Structures are given as structure tokens and as C-alpha cells.
Structure 1
Amino acid sequence: MGVPVQDVRNPDLPAPRQYPLELCELAVRTYRTAEAKPVIRRMAEELGVHHEALRGWIRQAQADAGERDGLLTTEKKEELPPPLCFPRSCKRTAGLRARHDCSPLSNG
């Protein structure tokens, strides 16, 4: 039997990108420069990416260009402080789900 692999990622670092940045940029540029806007699902399938990933990239590019309200620009997102992390006991009592484990001494 194999030995279970322990997750040793640092919770303070962002998750690794699933798609290369160049692919994201190419996909957004292709969508934005198309004369007739392509169907996102079809375009995503052709690029080999998930349609919701492509939709998110397009929406973020629109926010960055000032074409979409209700989303922070990439620049504004980078200015935000890191999210708060609560101790496990608070998570259980509040019924919150954690994306990663936090030590009892983390911001809470």
C-alpha cells in the first residue's frame, strides 16, 4: 500500500494556478477582440479550460478596464489585507467551513 501524501502547502501562499497566465491573457484577448462575441462554453471547450474559469477571467478583465461594476479591480484586490482566520473552536460554533486549517493563534 502507498503512503498517504501529506499536504505541505503554506496556507499563507495562494493556491498554484491551474492554467498558465499566458493562456488566461490569450483567452481574454481573443474574446474581447472577437467581432461577434463567442459563446463562452464553446470557447472554453476549444481552449481546454473550464467555462467558469474563462467567465471569471473575462469578468475580471472587464472590471480592470472599468467596464463592469460590482467587482474589484485586480489592483484593488492586491491592496486588501489578508482574510481573517479563526480558531477551530470558533469555526465549529459558528458553523463556518474553513478552506485551510488555522492555528489557534491566527487572528482570532
Structure 2
Amino acid sequence: MGNIPAVTDADFDAQVLKSDKPVLVDFWAEWCGPCRQVAPILDEIHAAHGDKITILKMNVDENPVTPASYRVTGIPTMHIYQNGELAKTIVGARPKAAILNELADYIA
């Protein structure tokens, strides 16, 4: 789906927690309809703001460890990590304007 790179349980620490810029991780699954609604929106945000925030996708079916450790119980869930810490959680499909509003502090 789209141009957003995937992150796995194995490389989560290196790609997300050790990143020098904010990282949005989209927890998703193939069978999730709302996840498919959010995907093109995140592609657009990735294209427009990829220099300020890294956007990665994590398939929860293929990578169960990280979502469980961050108590991701429903998808789509988007987590924003900054300086190795979970800074914000966005749960559920949202329109582009709402997601951009949530990201305002990180892409300004």
C-alpha cells in the first residue's frame, strides 16, 4: 500500500525509537477497512511532510510484539514517537484535516 515503508518488531527500536525526528507509526492490517481509508491520506502527508516527520506502517498481524507492548488494541491506530517516547496516539480513521491537525506540532 502506497509509498510508506514498513517497520517490523525486529527494527522498531532502530527506525522509531532512535530516530532523530518525530515518527508516526500506522498500526494496520490487510483486512481492516478503515486502515485502507487512512492509507492514501498518510501517503499524501508522507509526500508533503516527509522531511519533518517519518511515517512508517506496521502490520499488526505480522508483527504482534510491538503493538502488544504499546497496548494497541484496535486499528487503525497511529502513534507519534519523539525522542524515543510515545508522544501521541490517534485512534480510528480520520479525515486528512483532522490528522494534519493532530500532527501540527510535529510538522510546523
Would the TM-score normalized by the shorter structure come out above 0.5? Answer: no
| Structure with more contact order per residue of length (Cα contacts < 8 Å, sep ≥ 6) | 2
TM-score interval for Structure 1 and Structure 2 normalised by the shorter chain = under 0.3
More helix by share: 1
TM-score normalised by L of structure 2: 0.22
TM-score normalised by L of structure 1: 0.22
